[in-house]
């Protein structure tokens, strides 16, 4: 990460982006937004006659995944915002993805159509029904080429299974099932069956007055189809093995780092709340994101993480203000690169952070149009935490807390990253010398 | 391998570097009261047309409990207690928070059987039915520290807490789905799939 130079590649403007996800090959990049739409980008084939295009992403398909709903019984709006998108592994020419809002998960099929049938017997070319008495001969419709059309159609709708807001979906390595998690429960679904799901985790207390902890994220292990993890608002991660019991109320492993008593404050619990948990591609590690740091855990060691990376420690002295303006509740995501040698997460002021685990170095970069000229290398940024501000540094008080990068994604194989900065999608690629 | 930093901290909660904070007992208490005020404000204003974030609510609730505990342990303040200082009224504060959570639960929960909201003692029989939005509005328009807590609980709606059918029938298809849902479309789609081999 440190030796390769990332350069600005592309920028797309949209509604406020709420999720970003590459598919398994990295050829497709899906974004979901606050308006319930999904936009899929496809990487161009590398073209020898245009060597500088280097596989740029272009819009491939756009569709409305979710609509706003109104629950009349409770007088509550159900937001159409897409919380998560997860791709299914590709099995044929079509692509499948799961998209979810707070309440309903949908399975979408995205397929290409480049032929159409002509010469129907019962209707005209413009679709009008032909008068049956005028049909005197039978013909076989023929297939003719047409301009490529990409269609998205909803294949399954998984509804009415979540009382609380869905925060995660995760496709199992068996490619047949997936989990959906809300604040208090995790359900297991079969991709073919929409009218029932199996509840595997339930954190709801008998008396809601005792509620003190909620589920914040959940994920299946990338290789072991019986293993899943879920994180909580108290900064803990529970690993469950579905083989040991049907209802995973008893965890197999419990990951929690003991609190540092010298840094205890009224905000300790809030900043320990885990906003994202991700397994490494290898399946040996997992990463958690809390408000100020990213931690890497070895699945065999529950007592403490093996690595802790500070994202923006300079905010620790600002927690009261960040509590007041609600920023302390922002949920940042994190991601691994394809080889698990680097991790990335977002911050404020349109900054995002990348950590090279092997070289033990990190860098702060900025996603903004002012600083992005085509194919220009990204310049590392630095936040001045005290004392005299050097040239090109930004002081903590100048940071724009409305410009937050909550969602980032890393191509599964190459050094290409997608960064969502509010309503702008940035794509950065490795510079080739 | 472990990248943790050893940090120096003063022995009180955090440092606000924008001003020299007064960490005397009175100063600390005023800081805690400020946090309490901010937290109560958040609880009030978190109710809107959309179901509130349960995570945010639980975190604020837990923070409030910590503040409560800290204020209870603190010596009597030198300054006259502010209207929001709920030293003696701690019980009603936690009961209020509890009832807010309960109300949120009944407003968000589809499958739970109806529960009688356990009002604080003395208020059990003073709950005339009113629609939910009125209660929510009452919450946002009143300060929880008011001595008008009795009036506050009068607005709680118990009639809205009704058992709902276990299976809500799915919404009729939107126009987005009408055509694809029809028999003809499925047949044609199936045929096209065979032809195109997709």
Higher pLDDT, B166 or A275: A275
pLDDT for res A334: 98
- Residues of B in Cβ contact (< 8 Å) with A67: 174, 176
CB spacing of B5 vs A310 below 8 angstroms: yes
d(CA A85, CA A93): 20
- Which residues numbered 114-143 in B keep a CB inside 8 Å of some CB on A? 131-133
Q: Is A351 helix (H, G, I), strand (E, B) or coil?
A: strand
pLDDT for res A4: 55
pLDDT for res B183: 60
* The model's pTM: 0.76
pLDDT for res A123: 86
pLDDT for res B113: 38
Closest CA to B40 of B75, B116, B92, B88: B92
Q: Are B89 and B96 a contacting pair, CB within 8 Å? A: no
Q: Which long-range contacts (CB under 8 A, 24 or more apart) does B42-49 make?
A: B42/A326, B43/B97, B43/B100, B43/B144, B44/B139, B44/B140, B44/B143, B44/B144, B45/B140, B47/B136, B47/B139, B47/B140, B49/A75, B49/A76, B49/A77
- Residues of B in Cβ contact (< 8 Å) with A330: none
Instruction: Compare all CA atoms of chain A with the CA of B64 and give the residue at the minimum distance.
Output: A266
Q: Assess B42–A contact: CB distance below 8 Å, yes or no.
A: yes
Q: Assess B194–A contact: CB distance below 8 Å, yes or no.
A: no
Write out chain A's pLDDT in tens, 433 residues.
444 567 777 888 779 999 999 999 999 999 999 999 999 999 998 766 766 666 889 999 999 999 999 988 878 889 999 999 999 999 999 999 999 999 999 999 999 998 888 888 888 888 888 888 888 889 999 999 999 999 999 999 999 999 999 999 999 999 999 999 999 999 999 999 999 999 999 999 999 889 999 999 999 999 999 999 999 999 999 999 998 876 666 788 999 999 888 888 999 999 999 999 999 999 999 999 999 999 999 999 999 999 999 999 999 999 999 999 999 999 999 999 999 999 999 999 999 999 999 999 999 999 988 767 777 888 899 999 877 778 889 999 999 999 999 999 999 999 999 999 999 999 999 876 4
Q: Assess A199–B contact: CB distance below 8 Å, yes or no.
A: no
Q: Are A83 and A407 a contacting pair, CB within 8 Å? A: no
Q: Given the DSSP bridges, would you call strands A393-395 and A382-384 parallel, antiparallel or unpaired?
A: parallel
Residues B138-155 pLDDT 10s: 443 433 333 344 444 454
d(CA B138, CA B155): 7
Lowest-confidence region among B6-10, B20-24, B181-185: B6-10
Rounded to the nearest angstrom, the minimum Cα separation between B11 and chain A is: 7
Q: B88 CB contacts (<8 Å, ≥6 apart)? A: none
């Amino acid at each position: 990460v440190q030796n390769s130079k990332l350069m600005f590649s592309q920028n797309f403007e949209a509604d406020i982006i709420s999720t970003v996800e590459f598919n398994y090959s990295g050829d497709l990049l899906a974004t979901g937004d606050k308006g319930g739409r999904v936009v899929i980008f496809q990487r161009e084939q590398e073209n020898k006659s245009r060597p500088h295009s280097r596989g740029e992403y272009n819009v491939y398909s756009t569709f409305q995944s979710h609509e706003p709903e109104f629950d009349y019984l409770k007088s509550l709006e159900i937001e159409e915002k897409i919380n998560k998108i997860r791709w299914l592994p590709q099995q044929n020419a079509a692509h499948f993805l799961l998209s979810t809002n707070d309440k309903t998960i949908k399975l979408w099929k995205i397929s290409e159509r480049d032929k159409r049938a002509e010469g129907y017997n019962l209707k005209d070319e413009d679709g009008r029904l032909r008068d049956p008495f005028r049909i005197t001969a039978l013909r076989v419709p023929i297939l003719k080429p047409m301009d490529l059309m990409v269609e998205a159609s909803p294949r399954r709708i998984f509804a009415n299974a979540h009382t609380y807001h869905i925060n995660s979906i995760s496709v199992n390595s068996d490619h047949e099932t997936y989990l959906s998690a809300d604040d208090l429960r995790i359900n297991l679904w079969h991709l073919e069956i929409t009218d029932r799901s199996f509840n595997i985790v339930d954190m709801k207390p008998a008396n809601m007055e005792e509620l003190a902890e909620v589920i914040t994220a959940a994920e299946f292990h990338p290789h072991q189809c019986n293993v899943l993890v879920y994180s909580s608002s108290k900064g803990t991660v529970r690993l469950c093995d579905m083989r040991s019991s049907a209802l995973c109320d008893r965890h197999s492993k419990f990951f929690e780092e003991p609190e540092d008593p010298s840094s205890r404050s009224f905000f300790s619990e809030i900043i320990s709340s885990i906003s994202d948990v991700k397994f490494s591609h290898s399946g040996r590690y997992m990463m958690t994101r809390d408000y100020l740091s990213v931690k890497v855990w070895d699945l065999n060691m529950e007592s403490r993480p093996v690595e802790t990376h500070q994202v923006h420690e300079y905010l620790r002295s600002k927690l009261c203000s960040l509590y007041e303006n609600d920023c302390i509740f922002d949920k940042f995501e994190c991601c691994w690169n394809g080889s698990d040698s680097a991790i990335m997460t977002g911050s404020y002021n349109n900054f995002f952070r990348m950590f090279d685990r092997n070289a033990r170095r990190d860098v702060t970069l900025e996603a903004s149009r002012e600083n992005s000229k085509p194919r220009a290398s990204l310049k590392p940024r630095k936040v001045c935490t005290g004392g005299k501000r050097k040239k090109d540094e930004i002081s903590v008080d100048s940071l724009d807390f409305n410009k937050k990068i909550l969602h980032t994604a890393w191509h599964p194989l190459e050094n290409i990253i997608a960064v969502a900065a509010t309503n702008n999608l940035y794509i950065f690629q490795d510079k080739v010398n | 391998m472990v990248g943790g930093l050893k940090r120096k901290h003063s022995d009180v909660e955090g440092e606000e570097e924008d001003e020299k904070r007064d960490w005397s007992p009175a100063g600390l208490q005023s800081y805690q009261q400020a946090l309490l005020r901010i937290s109560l404000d958040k609880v009030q204003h978190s109710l809107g047309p959309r179901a509130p974030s349960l995570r945010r609510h639980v975190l604020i609730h837990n923070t409030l409990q910590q503040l409560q505990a800290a204020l209870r342990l603190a010596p009597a303040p030198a300054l006259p207690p502010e209207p929001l200082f709920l030293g003696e009224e701690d019980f009603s504060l936690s009961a209020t928070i509890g009832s807010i959570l309960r109300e949120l639960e009944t407003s968000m929960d589809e499958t739970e059987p109806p529960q009688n909201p356990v009002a604080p003692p003395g208020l059990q029989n003073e709950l005339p039915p009113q629609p939910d939005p009125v209660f929510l509005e009452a919450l946002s328009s009143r300060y929880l520290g008011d001595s008008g807590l009795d009036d506050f609980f009068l607005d709680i709606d118990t009639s809205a807490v009704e058992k709902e059918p276990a299976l809500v029938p799915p919404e009729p298809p939107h126009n987005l789905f009408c055509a694809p849902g029809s028999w003809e479309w499925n047949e044609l789609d199936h045929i096209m799939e065979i032809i195109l081999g997709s």
